[in-house]
Amino acid sequence: MLVKKACWISWIVIGVSLGVATAQTRLDQVTVHLSFRVTVGDKVLEPGEYRIRQVNDNLVQIIRNASGAGQSSVEAPVVQVITEFNDPAKETKVIFHRFGDDYYFDKMSLQGKGYGYLFLQPEGLKARERERRESPALSGKYEQVSG
């Protein structure tokens, strides 16, 4: 009977420990005001205030009106990257990639952290960049003419 009671107590302690460890997990969150439209995957975010919240090391959630009515969100794949020389960032900064009149999330650094996030480019942007690199060329006829 004592062994059975000890097993139950052990399971309770393990369960509480896991719950405390999970509750103490800190996730990154950045609040930013977008003054222009930004494309995320196949969605376009209108100007306004957004919270960029870490879901895990490979995914962030971008939430509009996080505390109000009409809340909407979109998820974006990211890669967590170490800062140069593992130095903590001096400021929190969200950097965008501009292609023509379109903006895309590119990078995000976090003040005081030795890591940041690199946003994965959506397939549509990759295709546009490939197309831009493939410059058309035409063959011509060369001839010397007297002047």
Percent of the chain with pLDDT over 90: 46
Q: At 61, phi and psi to the nearest 5?
A: -115, 130
Q: Report the predicted TM-score, pTM, of the whole model to 2 decimal places.
A: 0.67
Confidence class of residue 6 from pLDDT cuts 50, 70 and 90?
Answer: low
The stretch 50-72 carries a mean pLDDT of 88
Supply the mean pLDDT for the chain: 83
> Hunting for tokens 């996080």 — which residue is that?
66
Rounded Cα–Cα distance for residues 112 and 57 (Å): 18
The stretch 60-81 carries a mean pLDDT of 87
pLDDT of residue 24: 57
Confidence class of residue 20 from pLDDT cuts 50, 70 and 90?
Answer: very low
pLDDT of residue 29: 94
> Hunting for tokens 């831009």 — which residue is that?
132
pLDDT of residue 137: 81
Instruction: Provide the token pair at 74.
Output: 């979109």
pLDDT of residue 61: 96
The stretch 98-115 carries a mean pLDDT of 92
Q: At 123, phi and psi to the nearest 5?
A: -60, -35
